Amino acid sequence: MIGLRFIRIVCLLVICCCTSVKGMEDRPRIIVTTDGEADDRASFVRFLLTSNEFDVEAIVNSSSEFHWVGGKGWNAFHPVEWIAEYIGYYAQVYPNLLKHSKDYPSPDELLARWKVGNISAVGEYATRTEGARFIADILLDNSDSRPIWLQAWGGCNTIAAALKIIQEDHPERMAEVASRLRLYLIWEQDETYQQYIRPQWEPYGIPTIISDQFDCMAYIWPKVLPSEVKPYFEKAWMTAQILEGHGPLCDAYPNKQGAFNAEGDTPAFLHTIPTGLRNRESPAYGGWGGRYVRVRGNVWMDPLPSSDYVHPSGQWGIANSWSKRLEHVTDTAEINVRTRYFKPLWRWLDAIQNDFAARADWCVEEYESANHPPVVSLAQASLDVSAGVGEVIEWDASGSTDPDGDTLSFRWWHYAEAGSYAGHVEGVSTPKFSFRVPEDARVGDTIHLICEVRDSGTPALTRYCRVIVTVVG
């Protein structure tokens, strides 16, 4: 054909729905450890509202360098019973949530998976607490081969205690256990990752994310979020969409005079929600939980905000946090650096907050009165395509549907940071996308293209499909 080497039209149905991603991803398994800070409790409200998206294996009280039993003032430890209290609020809205998704776990299931871990001191991991033993038992159970996403919303000490049990009692199984492990750490909020987990378990290649960019959803959000997403966190939006008229669970949501206060731990489970972005395949892909770069072995940290920074060789936490360094900048160039640094997460925040608002509605509304995410269908054979320079590939998402019958809008765009191709790809606002591999692409380049599908409901909900083109010779 003149002007074209050839056109590839590939055909497979890929479905991204509100409860799972069929044919693409297993349902994720989640273990949460939390120090119970106010932002943890706020994150837990959203976690419960999102719990239809994953299998909750355990919820475990832990400590951190900020909160432990015996801590005074700001370091005081919130009584462990707060988890049961919040599950009680969840129980009151659970019957209505089931109208929107049958996959919500029962309150009794959640309570049975709540345990108390190592909370007596900062970084204490020698004690075989009930929570540590419970985590160890889950990790040793090889009846389910799916990965387990082990999240540290506070310190890593209870995780360390669980892993130490395995090392001491079952050293021959460490490699097997490690193969199922995925770690997502909100900073290193004690020294146990460096003291124990890193030297003893990192050699096994456990995929590990250590996040700093979470901070744009924590207490500093008013200073660091760009103007286009700030309204989703301010009093008018939060009060109307979450805090008023949405039942006892949302009533319990910790806020700051009606505005968003902090949810610093939320990115840990946002990363696991099957939105169609495929980010669980690699932290480098980017998704609702942020985007990360490999710094050593299988350990991933935040992309460098500028050439003036280097990744820490030791503990990554508040003492050397880039987010804290950038919190008070006033120079325009520095503000631009800050905006760029947090963009891997804030670029999704409008969709994330609208998803939160819809789930708040599910607490009180009938199915017919609420909105639900669109179902993205791509009529192509593969999400991963190899193609040479000049080749044309066509994708068609016009088979996408909406459970509420809403009108759908489409946007195809180039997620440049996620791939290696340095050039520009022009997107389209149609369900069909005809893409020619650019002439300046190099063999080995990857090009990430996102199909973003948004419905016309209230609040408008968004799901995605990601295709990856690898340039071949």
Residue-level pLDDT at 7: 38
Within a domain: residue 326?
Answer: yes
403 and 334 share a domain? Answer: no
Contact 225, 216 (CB under 8 A): yes
Within a domain: residue 118?
Answer: yes
30 and 12 share a domain? Answer: no
Residue-level pLDDT at 26: 82
Within a domain: residue 351?
Answer: no
Which residues face 294 on adjacent strands? Answer: 300
Residue-level pLDDT at 25: 62
Residue-level pLDDT at 9: 37
Q: Find the CATH number of the domain harbouring 182.
A: 3.90.245.10
12 and 52 share a domain? Answer: no
Cα–Cα distance for residue pair 189/211, rounded to 1 Å: 11
80-108, pLDDT tens digit by residue? Answer: 999 999 999 999 999 999 999 999 999 99
**For the whole model, what pTM was predicted?**
0.94
How many domains does one find in the chain?
2
Residue-level pLDDT at 17: 33
91 and 238 share a domain? Answer: yes
Contacting residues for 385 by C-beta, under 8 A, at least 6 apart? 8, 10, 393, 467, 468, 469, 470
Q: With CA atoms as reference, report the closest residue to 18 among 29, 27, 9, 5.
A: 27
Give pLDDT < 70 ranges for the chain: 1-25, 381
315 and 183 share a domain? Answer: yes
Q: With CA atoms as reference, report the closest residue to 433 among 459, 467, 463, 408.
A: 467
Sheet with 462-471, side-by-side order of all strands: 384-387, 462-471, 446-455, 408-414
402 and 297 share a domain? Answer: no
Residue-level pLDDT at 294: 97
Residue after which a domain boundary falls, among 346, 361, 390: 346
Cα–Cα distance for residue pair 423/428, rounded to 1 Å: 17
Cα–Cα distance for residue pair 287/274, rounded to 1 Å: 10
Residue-level pLDDT at 433: 96
Query: What is the torsion angle, in degrees rounded to the nearest 10, for the CA atoms of residue 349, residue 354, residue 355 and residue 356?
Result: 90
Within a domain: residue 2?
Answer: no
Give the residue numbers spanning the domain of 445.
7-16+374-471
Within a domain: residue 352?
Answer: no
Within a domain: residue 1?
Answer: no
Residue-level pLDDT at 398: 96
Within a domain: residue 359?
Answer: no
300 and 428 share a domain? Answer: no
- Residue linked to tokens 């920074």: 309
433 and 465 share a domain? Answer: yes
312 and 444 share a domain? Answer: no
Within a domain: residue 90?
Answer: yes
